[in-house]
Amino acid sequence: MIESDADDATGIARIVLNRPSQRNPLSVSVMRQITAALRTLARDPAVRVVVIAAMGPVFSAGHDLSEMVDRTLDDERIVFEACTAMMDTVQAVPQPVIAAVQGPAIAAGCQLAASCDLVVASSDAVFGTPGVRIGLFCSTPMVALSRAVGRKRAMQMLLTGETVDAATAADWGLVNVVVPPDQLDASVRELAARIAESSPLTLAIGKQAFYRQIDLPQDEAYALMTETMAENAVTCDAQEGMSAFLAKRKPNWTGK
């Protein structure tokens, strides 16, 4: 179960996991709901930033294991295909996506946080991929985790199943900002509001460009980004932004 809402006044939308009594499991239904909500928000020009948050003391304990016991291979594929679709959609939508993490973010919950563009964590957050301890290696979480923290640190988390605290996660590059628990919501809103001040078109171009170039060899990345930046420069918003800067006035974004 999730809740989804958008505030047209601020341009900030929220998707909230809302099964706190079950530790906000990522069931197939919930993952499909998140994917659908993201795709709907992607089409809303008023939405500048998306926040993924959770109710209760746990961000997410990961997959709903009750869906994965005594199942066929095809049944298991459905779970991980739904998971992959959700993670891909987080990075495919044009808006920056911020994870607001309190308490544990475990297995697919850790993967969801790692897949988001930015992560703000409360100081009581912990991150872990403990599947190895129950005979199910966290192979899909490994994809996002290894890209966020690097090979050795990812392998440490994956092989031991041990959690790391928020400060360590920040040091390793999994988390952007760590704040006291009572400041999490305010800090996320502040960060989202700063991002929302920029052109939505420019944000979309930049986010998509980041993921297109990040794993390319440097020469290919520069070739691709040279064309991307040139195309960005001739958009109305880029021309408006540069003109506004030179005139020392506030830009008027049109999203074109």
**CATH classification of 2-196 is 3.90.226.10, yes or no?**
yes
Predicted confidence (pLDDT) at residue 5 exceeds the cutoff of 90:
no
Query: HSE on the CB side for 180, CA within 13 Å?
Result: 2
Query: HSE on the CB side for 99, CA within 13 Å?
Result: 31
Q: What does the H/E/C string look like for the chain?
A: CEEEEEECCCCEEEEEECCHHHCCCECHHHHHHHHHHHHHHHCCCCCCEEEEEECCCCCECCECHHHCCCCCHHHHHHHHHHHHHHHHHHHHCCCCEEEEECCEEECHHHHHHHHCCEEEEECCCEEECHHHHHCCCCHHHHHHHHHHHCHHHHHHHHHHCCCEEHHHHHHHCCCCEEECHHHHHHHHHHHHHHHHCCCHHHHHHHHHHHHHHCCCCHHHHHHHHHHHHHHHHCCHHHHHHHHHHHHCCCCCCCCC
Distance between CA atoms of residues 143 and 138, nearest Å:
9
Predicted confidence (pLDDT) at residue 2 exceeds the cutoff of 80:
no
Q: How much is the pLDDT for 1?
A: 60
Tens-place pLDDT, residues 106-131: 999 999 999 999 999 999 999 999 99
Distance between CA atoms of residues 129 and 122, nearest Å:
19
- When pLDDT is cut at 50, 70 and 90, the band that residue 6 belongs to is confident
Tens-place pLDDT, residues 7-32: 778 899 999 999 999 999 999 999 99
Q: How much is the pLDDT for 65?
A: 95
With a pLDDT cut of 90, the percent of the chain lying above it is: 96
- When pLDDT is cut at 50, 70 and 90, the band that residue 99 belongs to is very high
What are the domain boundaries of the chain?
Answer: 2-196, 200-247
Phi, psi values for residue 8, rounded to 5°: -65, -25
CATH code for the domain defined by 200-247: 1.10.12.10
Tens-place pLDDT, residues 198-214: 999 999 999 999 999 99
2-196 and 200-247 share one CATH topology?
A: no
Predicted confidence (pLDDT) at residue 79 exceeds the cutoff of 70:
yes
Predicted confidence (pLDDT) at residue 3 exceeds the cutoff of 80:
no
Phi, psi values for residue 197, rounded to 5°: -70, -20
Residue written as tokens 């909500």? 37
Q: Between 182 and 1, where is the model more confident?
A: 182
Contact 178, 123 (CB under 8 A): yes
Contact 195, 176 (CB under 8 A): no
Q: How much is the pLDDT for 16?
A: 97
Distance between CA atoms of residues 204 and 92, nearest Å:
9
Mean pLDDT for 138-143 is: 97
Q: Is the pTM of this model over 0.75?
A: yes
